[in-house]
Amino acid sequence: MFWLRLVPDDTKIQFMKGRIVGLATSAFLSIASVILFFHPGLNYGVDFKGGIAIEIQTPQPADFSVLRSNLDALGLGQVQLQQFGSPSDVLIRMEAQPTEKEQQTALDTVKKTLTDSVPGTVIRSVDSVGSTVSGELFQNGMMALGLALVAMLFYIWFRFEWQFGVGAVVTMILDVTKMIGVYAVTGMQFNLTSIAALLTILGYSVNDKVVVYDRVRENLRLFKSMPLRQLIDLSINQTLNRTIGTSLATFLACLPLAIWSGETLQQFAIVILIGVVVATTSSIFIAAPILLFLGEDKLFRKKAPPPAKGDGAAAGKGA
Amino acid sequence: MMYFAPWKKVTIWVVCLLGVILSLPNILPRSALDALPSWIPARQINLGLDLRGGSYLLLEVDMKAVVDGRLNNIQDSIRGLLRRENIAYTDLAVQDRSVGFTLADPSQADRVRTLLAENMQSGNVDPLASGQRDIDISVGSDGKAALTLTEVGLRDRETRAVEQSIEIVRRRVDESGTKEPLISRQGTSRILLQLPGEQNPDRIRRLLGQTAKMTFHLVSQDYQPGQPGPVPPDTEVLPLEDSRSATPQSIAIKKRIEVDGANLIDARAGTNSQNGQWVVNFEFDSAGARRFGQVTQANTGRPFAIVLDDKVISAPRINEPILGGRGQISGNFTAQSANDLAVLLRAGALPAPLTIVEERTVGPDLGADAIQAGVIAVAVGFLLVITYMTAAYGLFGLFANIALVMNLVITVAVLSLLEATLTLPGIAGLLLTLGLSVDANILINERLHEETKRGRSPFSAMDAGFSRAFGTIFDANVTSLIKMGILYSLSSGPVRGFAVTTAIGILTSMFTAIVLVRFMMVGWIRRNRPTVLPVLRKA
């Protein structure tokens, strides 16, 4: 019986050799993402920018010029029309009106204009978010992300050493910025669902880091005299099968969503797919090297160790 | 480690069985559910509005109006009090959060202070239950007086305004015939209104967009709008809605409220028997009826103004005294607007205007499409994961798969028991759970693989493998749980749903991955007594 093993058991890749390249690439991508975040910026959905988004389905393929001229004639500011799915599905986005009252009136007018200009049009969904709420939603979302990072920092610090906590959180920040870069580059809408996607990736990523770090912690106890660099390489190699296996499984679970599901879930799933790759590589090439830099002196146990207890169990491994 | 006490075995079976039973109602059709005996908890997961279609409205109570209204009340009471007591004053005005005035004769300061304390805090003002005052009174020896709303008083007002608003919103929505509305308070000044299945919330919006404060006033006899000279202090000019002419008209009315709409006990739309026009028939309670009788008797032959939200909707002439407490509003009504007004009057006035700050509507087919696409995709994804696990870990992969399925089943069961609401982000949470649960299983299997490679016997490999994997899984899961806790407490709505599903999923995955899987493995080992665990490639 043949069972799939993704990586041969005795793999000994010296990942830490690539630490400089890994960190540099990651830093470059993250900095680029931050720049893209400010300029040109993200394509914020109505959740965060405020405004009106209406999804309609016209009986025949939609005539954009008619819709556009009718909507522009209302003088309610910028109107964006976008086809999605079939040619008769149209997404209309309008900017937020100065006050909530005006927004309500605008919504009424727009709905009426749409059904009047193309008879038989079905309004499939409406999102109207006032400017106060959109600001709060954005702030709350960001605050949740931030606090989640701080809490993780303290828990990992508490359970491991501070170097692990810092390493995990710095990696996490690099991961999240890259994902924001993905939104900036692709122009995908950034809304509440995107926050859920980022949180999912964050959850997945921290899990991945904890697993690798956990093995490092265990090996630190087992091989008291092994240089940290070699020890980290050993730990990554030992967990490589699980790292890649879990990533593959998660990737497979999301793949159908990215291919088949509706607009909202599809974007969500695509982001997760990219996130899984980012999180997996960052566990190996970012989180581990940071630990190496931070822990080179601190975690390296100077004195010659007494014979380690776990040596028997670890025979034939690493040391 | 390798021995399961009988009660543990029973518990594992019971938990799994309960999971299946409790999650079952979600896939049974309604008819089958109704046929179940009542002792079976037929609870289901609620689908969020984004999945089943419906409307979501977030309303904000205008707190400024609440405070301003309160300050104006205080100002009116002070004016009445000082006039009654014959005390001369100047500069009575509302500033910021207080009402101030200056005594003409500062020597009266002490008397005024006592008067204010007696009248403002016990008579017109509800004393707060906690014994704290809602107004701070200061009267200086220079004759300057100020009544300031305290922080406690303000907060109390706001809380009451929101609670009252929720009650009125509920009545209005109920009266409009909308089914199963969900109304809840959100934050300090907001109300969340969810209307499952509602496709066109326009009518609800119209109903909620009005304060519906109705008052009856006399029309001014000695001042006409547009007349030269200042408007007398007891008069105000309001727009007249009733006009059938194209140009907007206005009318001057006395500020004094003769009868208040709060005294109404019923209002119904109907048609006038003479001209067939839509009208609203109303009925006062006994106090209102008495007052209405007196006013109409004293002012027969004069016009009377019916004011709704600072607009005069009708100004009919009083033809005869109306003594029975029943009346009729004829305005420019259609069947719809007469019905709407009747609903508003029956439900009562809002304490402050409401603004819709967020509105979302999802059509039912869009929701259905989302569910269908989501379910199929998740199912296929699940299948792929199961295939991978079997390919990678063989028999133990199958055990892991059973655990994955049970994890999903128990999560669904718990969500049903809580009658939680599943939204799109919630599905994302299930997906993350699946990922973490797969990870736990992979961790265990990898550990078993390592330990077996080191030449350990099945039981010793299981022992070492599980205890080591447990540490890792525990740390990873606790980190995630902490994060979900933060998300839950910080966020609202959709992200909250994500946090709940993920947290429940993580907790149940601890049971399925660690307890259930070990239970299955131990059972298998006991029956087959292998010399090594079947985790190496050439088993």
Q: What letters, b where the CB count within 10 A reaches 16 and e where it falls short, cover B147-163?
A: bbbeeebbebbbeebbe
Q: What is the pLDDT of residues B457-469, one digit of tens each?
A: 888 899 888 998 9
pLDDT for A315: 39
Q: What is the pLDDT of residues B163-205, one digit of tens each?
A: 889 988 988 888 887 778 888 888 888 999 988 888 888 888 8
| Cis preceding-peptide flag for B425 (omega within 30 of 0) | no
Cα A8 to Cα A25: distance, rounded to the nearest angstrom: 27
Max mean pLDDT among A15-19, A31-35, B192-196, B329-333 falls in A31-35
Give the residue from A226, A113, A216 showing the smallest Cα distance to A168: A216
Beta bridge partners of B311: B308
> Nearest-5° angle of CA A107, CA A112, CA A115?
125
> Within 13 Å, how many C-alpha atoms sit on residue A203's CB side?
36
**DSSP 3-state assignment of B308?**
strand
Residues B295 and B216: beta-carbon distance below 8 Å: yes
Total residues belonging to chain B:
539
Give the residue from A108, A42, A44 showing the smallest Cα distance to A76: A108
pLDDT for A319: 32
Cα B471 to Cα B156: distance, rounded to the nearest angstrom: 50
pLDDT for A32: 95
By 3-state DSSP, what share of chain B in percent is helix, strand and coil, each rounded to 5?
Answer: 55, 20, 25
> What's the token pair of residue A273?
């797919």
Closest approach of B207 to chain A, Cα-based (Å): 13
Could you write out the DSSP letters of every residue in chain A? -----SS-TT----GGGGHHHHHHHHHHHHHHHHHHHHTT--EE-HHHH-EEEEEEE-SSS--HHHHHHHHHTT--S-EEEEE-SSTTEEEEEEPPPSSHHHHHHHHHHHHHHHHHHSTT-EEEEEEEE-HHHHHHHHHHHHHHHHHHHHHHHHHHHHHS-HHHHHHHHHHHHHHHHHHHHHHHHH--EESHHHHHHHHHHHHHHHHHHHHHHHHHHHHHHH-TTS-HHHHHHHHHHHHHHHHHHHHHHHHHHHHHHHHHS-HHHHHHHHHHHHHHHHHHHHIIIIIHHHHHHHHTTTTS--SPPPPPGGGTTTTTS--
| pLDDT confidence bin for A318, thresholds 50/70/90 | very low
pLDDT for A256: 86
Residues A236 and A209: beta-carbon distance below 8 Å: no
Closest approach of B209 to chain A, Cα-based (Å): 9
- Cβ of A246 within 8 Å of Cβ of B435? The answer is yes
How far lies A55's CA from each of A71, B242, B359, in Å? 14, 38, 14
List CB contacts of B201: < 8 A, sequence separation 6 or more: B55, B57, B195, B359, B361
- Cβ of A196 within 8 Å of Cβ of B363? The answer is no
Alpha helices in B176-285 (DSSP H): 202-208
Q: What is the pLDDT of residues B91-150, one digit of tens each?
A: 888 888 888 998 888 888 888 888 888 777 643 345 444 556 778 888 888 888 888 888
- Cβ of A239 within 8 Å of Cβ of B356? The answer is no
Total residues belonging to chain A:
319
Residues A81 and A91: beta-carbon distance below 8 Å: yes
High-pLDDT (> 90) share of chain B, %: 12
Cα A95 to Cα A52: distance, rounded to the nearest angstrom: 6
Pairing relationship of beta strands B135-139 and A89-94 according to DSSP bridges: unpaired
pLDDT for B480: 85
DSSP assigned state of B241:
T
Alpha helices in B454-532 (DSSP H): 458-490, 493-510, 517-528
pLDDT for B125: 43
Cα A183 to Cα A178: distance, rounded to the nearest angstrom: 9
Closest approach of B394 to chain A, Cα-based (Å): 6
Q: What is the pLDDT of residues B215-226, one digit of tens each?
A: 899 888 888 887
Cα A317 to Cα A229: distance, rounded to the nearest angstrom: 15
User: Which H or E run includes B284?
Assistant: strand B278-284
Q: What is the pLDDT of residues A127-176, one digit of tens each?
A: 898 888 888 888 887 888 888 888 888 888 888 888 899 999 999 999 99
Classified by CATH at the fold level, domain A15-43+134-311 comes out as: Multidrug efflux transporter AcrB transmembrane fold (1.20.1640)
Question: How high does pLDDT run on average in chain A?
Answer: 84
What ranges do the domains of chain A cover? 15-43+134-311, 51-128
pLDDT for B1: 54
| pLDDT confidence bin for B242, thresholds 50/70/90 | low
| B438 interface with A at CB cutoff 8 Å | yes
> What's the token pair of residue A249?
């499984």
Q: What is the pLDDT of residues A183-195, one digit of tens each?
A: 999 988 888 888 8
Q: What is the pLDDT of residues B373-409, one digit of tens each?
A: 777 887 888 899 999 999 888 889 999 999 999 999 9
pTM of the model: 0.76
Rg of chain B (C-alpha set) = 35
Say whether pLDDT at B245 is over 80. Answer: no
Residues B525 and B451: beta-carbon distance below 8 Å: no
Four-way CATH pick for B6-52+363-528: 1.20.120.1770, 3.10.450.50, 1.20.1640.10, 1.20.1560.10:
1.20.1640.10
pLDDT for B539: 40
> Nearest-5° angle of CA B464, CA B467, CA B468?
80
Say whether pLDDT at A300 is over 60. Answer: no
Say whether pLDDT at A109 is over 60. Answer: yes
- Cβ of A214 within 8 Å of Cβ of B478? The answer is no
High-pLDDT (> 90) share of chain A, %: 25
Chain A interface mutation, best of B52, B383, B472, B538, highest count of A Cβ atoms under 10 Å: B472
> What's the token pair of residue A35?
């720049």
User: What CATH class does A51-128 carry?
Assistant: alpha beta
Question: How high does pLDDT run on average in chain B?
Answer: 84
Say whether pLDDT at B3 is over 80. Answer: no
Cα B398 to Cα B404: distance, rounded to the nearest angstrom: 10
Say whether pLDDT at A277 is over 90. Answer: yes
pLDDT for A317: 38
pLDDT for B46: 81
Say whether pLDDT at A302 is over 80. Answer: no
pLDDT for A29: 94
Q: How many CB atoms lie within 10 A of CB B6?
A: 7
Q: Which residue has the higher pLDDT, B135 or B445?
A: B445
Give the residue from A101, A102, A60, A58 showing the smallest Cα distance to A77: A102
- Cβ of A156 within 8 Å of Cβ of B487? The answer is no
**DSSP 3-state assignment of B357?**
strand
Say whether pLDDT at A2 is over 60. Answer: no
Say whether pLDDT at B505 is over 90. Answer: yes
Q: What is the pLDDT of residues B137-172, one digit of tens each?
A: 888 888 888 888 888 878 888 888 898 899 889 888
What angle do the packed helices A162-186 and A263-282 form, to 10 degrees? 140
pLDDT for A308: 45
Say whether pLDDT at A241 is over 80. Answer: yes
Four-way CATH pick for B209-360: 3.30.499.10, 1.10.260.40, 3.20.20.70, 3.30.1360.200:
3.30.1360.200
Say whether pLDDT at B516 is over 50. Answer: yes
Could you tell me which chain A residue has the CA closest to the CA of B497?
A196
Could you tell me which chain A residue has the CA closest to the CA of B49?
A125
Residues B349 and B214: beta-carbon distance below 8 Å: yes
Closest approach of B269 to chain A, Cα-based (Å): 25
Cα B394 to Cα B470: distance, rounded to the nearest angstrom: 21
Give the residue from B84, B144, B152 showing the smallest Cα distance to B115: B84
Say whether pLDDT at A68 is over 80. Answer: yes
DSSP assigned state of B303:
B
pLDDT for A171: 93
| pLDDT confidence bin for B309, thresholds 50/70/90 | confident
| B182 interface with A at CB cutoff 8 Å | no
Say whether pLDDT at A279 is over 50. Answer: yes
Cα B508 to Cα B319: distance, rounded to the nearest angstrom: 75
Cα B280 to Cα B345: distance, rounded to the nearest angstrom: 10
Beta bridge partners of B235: B254
pLDDT for B386: 92
Between A71-85, A272-286, B488-502, the lowest mean confidence (pLDDT) is in B488-502
Cα B445 to Cα B399: distance, rounded to the nearest angstrom: 10
Dihedral pair phi/psi, residue A280, rounded to 5°: -65, -45
pLDDT for A273: 93
pLDDT for B427: 79
**DSSP 3-state assignment of B176?**
coil
Classified by CATH at the fold level, domain B63-156 comes out as: Gyrase A; domain 2 (3.30.1360)
Residues B446 and B468: beta-carbon distance below 8 Å: no
Cα B243 to Cα A259: distance, rounded to the nearest angstrom: 60
- Cβ of A265 within 8 Å of Cβ of B355? The answer is no
How far lies B280's CA from each of A302, A315, B335, B338, in Å? 91, 92, 10, 6
Say whether pLDDT at A310 is over 50. Answer: no
Chain A interface mutation, best of B442, B445, B447, B457, highest count of A Cβ atoms under 10 Å: B442
pLDDT for B407: 93
What ranges do the domains of chain B cover? 6-52+363-528, 63-156, 209-360
Residues B314 and B306: beta-carbon distance below 8 Å: yes
Could you tell me which chain A residue has the CA closest to the CA of B366?
A124
**DSSP 3-state assignment of B529?**
coil
| B209 interface with A at CB cutoff 8 Å | yes
> Within 13 Å, how many C-alpha atoms sit on residue B172's CB side?
25
Cα B321 to Cα B298: distance, rounded to the nearest angstrom: 8
What angle do the packed helices A192-222 and A288-295 form, to 10 degrees? 50
Say whether pLDDT at B47 is over 70. Answer: yes
> What's the token pair of residue B6?
């009988």
Give the residue from B522, B474, B507 showing the smallest Cα distance to B407: B507
Closest approach of B441 to chain A, Cα-based (Å): 9
